[in-house]
Amino acid sequence: MRLDKFLSDMGVGSRSEVKKNIRWGKVLVAGKAVRDPGFQVETGDEILYKKQPVRYEAMQYYMLHKPNGVISASEDKKQTTVVDLIRDQAGNVRKDLFPVGRLDKDTEGLLIITNDGALAHQLLAPKHHIDKVYYAQVSGEITEADQKAFEEGIVFDEERKAMPAGLRILKTGLPMTPALRDRFLDVVLPIRGRDIAEEAAQEEARRSLTIPDSYSEVEITIQEGKFHQVKKMVQALGNGKRVLYLRRISMGEITLDPALAPGEYRLLTEEELAKLKGYVKEQ
């Protein structure tokens, strides 16, 4: 395999960046500087890139900052998927990748993308109780009683009881902004009319809704991952509480890189990957 292709495939930089650093003598193979990007290497060769070892990984693991409006799927004929965001050096979609778990379409934040099916399956197994932490903006004021309800395991979907969860209040009693008021209406009563008359009726119904005059910022920690679970747990608190914005910030000890903007991604570091694999070994 060409040296420049090997290095770019391992995610250390773009093909052009890698070639430049090779020509500048910043790449060592078996202890010797190699300045030819086309130099042939084997997967077991000892390679240093800018003084850092680069090892061959048949499987790759990405941290993605999932943006709003993208679905957590490998492929879809109509909608953009999280896998569509990750491209190879030629700009092509990586068809071998898939997300570990899912985030709702309108939820942002940390999502692991990989081609390691075995590890993904193990991580998603019910026996692996990994803390998942979310930052949320919630309509209404969150109280100590709400925190206790989460700690005891709140009932949602009428009879389904959640495992004990964490609800940490960051700020509460914040004045509701116009944007969050609009978001509240979209969450509680979205306009989905099939014709003008139906849409007009829905608009009228929206005008009669009582909108909370404040909102809260919280961190929610759960170990499960049922459909719309965080949103349903918050709604089960009552008093007009709804999730208005949701972003996953960590999974176990792996935290969303603050340098990643929504839609951006990077390979997991060796330390992060070791933690990810450690969750499976601990069980």
Q: Is 146 among the catalytic positions?
A: no
Angstrom distance (rounded) from CA 117 to CA 124: 11
Q: Provide the pLDDT for residue 108.
A: 98
Q: Which residues of the chain have pLDDT under 70?
A: 9, 11, 57, 88-90, 126, 191-196, 281-283
Q: Provide the pLDDT for residue 137.
A: 98
Give the residue among 237, 270, 222, 275 at the shortest CA–CA distance from 138: 237
Q: Provide the pLDDT for residue 282.
A: 57
Tell me the domains of the chain and their CATH numbers: 3-53 (3.10.290.10), 61-127+253-282 (3.30.70.580), 132-251 (3.30.70.1560)
Cβ partners under 8 Å of residue 280, min gap 6: 119, 122, 123, 128
Angstrom distance (rounded) from CA 248 to CA 99: 14
Q: Are 62 and 268 in contact (CB under 8 A)?
A: yes
**CA dist 10 to 81, 193, 270, Å?**
23, 49, 12
237 secondary structure, DSSP code: T
Please tell me which residue in 9, 84, 104, 186 is annotated as part of the active site: 104
Angstrom distance (rounded) from CA 90 to CA 133: 35
CB neighbours of residue 99 within 10 Å: 21
Q: Provide the pLDDT for residue 98.
A: 87
Angstrom distance (rounded) from CA 120 to CA 72: 14
Give the residue among 108, 107, 130 at the shortest CA–CA distance from 119: 130
**CA dist 204 to 144, 190, 198, Å?**
35, 12, 10
Helices then strands, counting H and E runs in the chain, come out as 8, 15
Q: Provide the pLDDT for residue 193.
A: 60
Angle, alpha carbons 154-276-89 (nearest 5°): 120
Q: Provide the pLDDT for residue 126.
A: 67
Q: Provide the pLDDT for residue 160.
A: 84
Angstrom distance (rounded) from CA 93 to CA 116: 17
Q: Provide the pLDDT for residue 141.
A: 97
Q: Are 210 and 176 in contact (CB under 8 A)?
A: no
Q: Are 63 and 110 in contact (CB under 8 A)?
A: yes
Strand-pairing partners, residue 70, are none
Q: Provide the pLDDT for residue 124.
A: 79
Bridge pairing between strands 98-99 and 108-114: antiparallel
Angstrom distance (rounded) from CA 176 to CA 179: 8
